[in-house]
A = this chain, B = another copy of it.
Amino acid sequence: MQISDRQLDLVNRQIERLRKSDNFYGRRLKEAGVTGVSSAEEFCRLPFSEKADLRAAYPLGLMAVPEDEIVRIHSSSGTTGTPVIIPYTQKDVDDWATQFARCLEMAGVTRQDRVQITVGYGLWTAGVGFQAGVERLGAMAVPMGPGNTEKQLKFMCDMETTVLCATSSYALLLAEEVEKRGMQDQIHLRRGVIGSERWGQKMRSRIEGLLGIELYDIYGLTEVYGPGTGISCRCGCGIHTWDDFNYLEIVDPKTGEPVPDGEWGEVVYTTLVKEGAPLIRFRTHDISRIIPGPCPCGDPHPRIDQIQGRSDDMMKIKGVNVFPRQIEEVLQRFPQLSSEYQIRISHLDGRDTMRIYVETDGTQNFLELGDEVAHEVKSRIGFTPIVKVVEMGLLPRSEKKTRRVYDERYE
């Protein structure tokens, strides 16, 4: 979706602000002699920025305003290296709350709702983002934080919470716990707002079924405010994004060229009004596409499709490009299987092998079901994996992100 004149105007003001600062982008723009962009074509020639650039700016090299205007930092986890630190002004904090409240409104949350927040606080953007959105909307935040399932269930019942905010893995864990304890009649949940993970239709249906609720996908990155820059609507056909705060483009992950609306590629973010740490053409490595045309829900904000994985998740197995998402979609066609699975890739005797673990209940013939699944996967990706069917509940559930792919060739 081509950048609009209004957005271009905001980008130019942002470039002006950045050129006054000595931060990473300011220096880069000055070095490149960029003083502004006069057209959509010119915008597409602005250099990309990468997570590695942001990391190299550690600790405060992204700060684009004088320090006394900064009220807060957030940080990505940094488990794989130096963390990225994002400074926020008061306006950034307010703008984020505005976007988040808009997301909750789209999910049907009202001032009458009680919203149980089960994600983490602190440096992490999830908890405080949800809380600010709930309070801005005027609903009631029940700020549990992560973990402590026993207490979560107690508050869910006693506080009669109506909205659950969670990762998909933790929502599943809670849903299965509610079922196991026969607590369905004691809960009052009506909606779930699920963030920060890829998840499939199968898992969604299982959570929705067990808890009797509607689920919404919230989208965002620590680098761009946090969650809350977009959300799926009641039509369930894509994620509306707030184009007055951020411009999203889809580019070919290999060439960096914009792809036509409707085609898959990598999501690239440009902030439009951010002060503390503006971003220009930041590559997310998330795979999605612009959904062309108006949404049946009537909301005019542009839509991207559900995130299909990371451009980095692409695996080359037996010389074939495979996305975990492709496997997931095949597995979802089998109603006998649970929503959990694990993919393990190894290299033995000079050959790549792919094992897929799936779960089913005791009434199934494990061997036959495994063969069926292997056959379907082959028809999708071109080679036959080893499929191992195991007892329901055997695969690990986690309170945070569940790791589903283990590439043992590189471990």
From A67, A69, A87, residue with most partner B Cβ within 10 Å = A67
The prevalent SS among residues of A at the interface is mixed
Report whether B58 and A140 are in contact in the complex, using a CB–CB cutoff of 8 Å. no
- Cβ of A73 to closest chain B Cβ, rounded Å: 6
Tell me if A364 counts as interface (CB < 8 A to partner B): no
Q: Is A121 an interface residue (CB 8 A)?
A: yes
Residue pair A145, B159 in contact (C-beta under 8 Å): no
Q: How many copies of the polypeptide does the oligomer hold?
A: 2
Does A122 lie within 8 Å of B127, measured CB to CB?
Answer: yes
Q: Does A168 contact B (CB under 8 A)?
A: no
The smallest C-beta distance from A94 to any residue of chain B, in angstroms, reads 11
A123 within 8 A of B: yes
CA distance A142 to B85 in the complex (A): 10
Binds B, one of A128-136, A322-330, A334-342: A128-136
Q: Which of B93, B111, B143, B144 contacts A68 (CB 8 A)?
A: B111
A198 shortest CB reach to chain B, Å: 26
A140 touches B70 (CB 8 A): yes
Is there an interface contact between A72 and B143, defined as CB atoms closer than 8 Å?
Answer: yes
CB distance from A144 to the nearest CB of B (A): 6
Residues of B within 8 A of A58 (CB): 158
Count residues of A near B (Cβ-Cβ below 8 Å).
36
- Check A295 for interface membership: any CB of B closer than 8 A: no
Complex interface: chain B residues within 8 A of A72 (CB): 131, 134-135, 140-141, 143
A123 contacts B140, C-beta separation under 8 Å: no
Chain A residues 35 to 63 lying within 8 A of chain B, measured CB to CB, are: 58-60
Which residues of A, 3-36, contact B by the 8 Å Cβ criterion?
none
Provide 23 A-B residue pairs closer than 8 Å at the C-beta atoms, listed in order of the A residue: A59-B159, A67-B112, A68-B111, A69-B138, A71-B134, A71-B138, A71-B139, A72-B135, A72-B141, A72-B143, A73-B140, A73-B142, A73-B143, A73-B159, A87-B140, A120-B145, A121-B127, A121-B145, A122-B144, A122-B145, A123-B143, A123-B144, A128-B143
Q: Measuring CB to CB, which residues of chain A are less than 8 angstroms from any residue of chain B?
A: 58-60, 67-74, 85, 87, 90, 93, 111-112, 120-123, 127-128, 131, 134-135, 138-145, 158-159
